[in-house]
Amino acid sequence: MKTILIAGGAGFLGSNLCKKLIKDNIVICLDNLITGNMANIIPYLESPNFKFIKHDIINPIDIEIDEIYNLACPASPIHYQKDPIHTLKSSVFGIYNLLELAKKYNAKILQASTSEVYGNPLEHPQKESYFGNVNINGPRSCYDEGKRCAESIMYEYNKQYNTQIRIARIFNTYGKNMQKDDGRVISNFIIQALKNEDITIYGDGLQTRSYCYVDDLIDGLIKLMASNITTPTNLGNPIEYTILKTAKIIISKTNSQSKLIFKNLPIDDPQKRKPDISKAKKELNWEPKISLNEGLDNTISYFKEII
């Protein structure tokens, strides 16, 4: 059995990863519980294979481990913009502390990077080779530049110390264990639709996103960790939707009476986003299997239970 550290293990992706890895491994879950939620990991607290430690990775930690997954950072724009300095510290000090741990115990380490490293992309779809179009001085830069810097730190540890690194560039993901107050598009629209409240479209709704169901994403992360790929790898679903279309699909699936209302587009909101996943397909034999239809059914059932 391996001992696997999951930083951000009580969060949306982290808790789904705990669920999968706890079957065959010892899982040590770290979380500062700022956006993570104990309710996500309650089912595992009794397991002898599971240990929770309340810890913020901006501070060093010393635990003997074989693998590290770093998912510890608020990922929703409203959350990561609440305390931007802390967001930067989570990405930069956080990955530094975990890389030191990986170096000490000769462990493999996977960093949850993001499609935000591409900013408001001028290349479409986005390939890993694209350098991105990021505003250094905008409200999203604490997250975007923090994650870009984390990738640089990973790269340098691999070069200087031969640390076994994996970098997943994660595109929009949705599903079970998202928080009610997450603020991202799929959770907002489902909750608004279930309550028959107005659906908030930011801007004209013609901007696009491509949505990956969480189970597919978790499979991708595990495959990437098991591979030998030390360069960044896009993980996401390449089927692209406008925000307006997304709202219409969710209204129809929930039989909602909700109306669309239009609000200001947030500053630097990317106009389009869609991953090129040919690298993951070829080198990991991975691609998403769960359709938006099926993923939304699961996610709508989940939100029905918790609201």
Q: Given the rule CB under 6 A, which residues bind ligand UDP?
A: 76-77, 172, 184-185, 188, 200-202, 207, 209, 243, 265-266, 269
Q: How far is the CB of 93 from ligand UDP (least distance, A)?
A: 23
In the complex with ligand UDP, the residue whose CB is nearer, 52 or 171, is 171
In the complex with ligand UDP, the residue whose CB is nearer, 158 or 246, is 246
Q: How far is the CB of 162 from ligand UDP (least distance, A)?
A: 33
In the complex with ligand UDP, the residue whose CB is nearer, 147 or 209, is 209
Chain residue whose CB lies nearest ligand UDP: 184
Token pair for 172: 């929009």
Q: How far is the CB of 76 from ligand UDP (least distance, A)?
A: 6
**Catalytic member of 80, 143, 174, 213:** 143
In the complex with ligand UDP, the residue whose CB is nearer, 49 or 200, is 200
Q: How far is the CB of 287 from ligand UDP (least distance, A)?
A: 20
Tell the residue number behind the tokens 């931007």, with chain if given.
84
155 an active-site residue?
no
Catalytic annotation, residues: 143
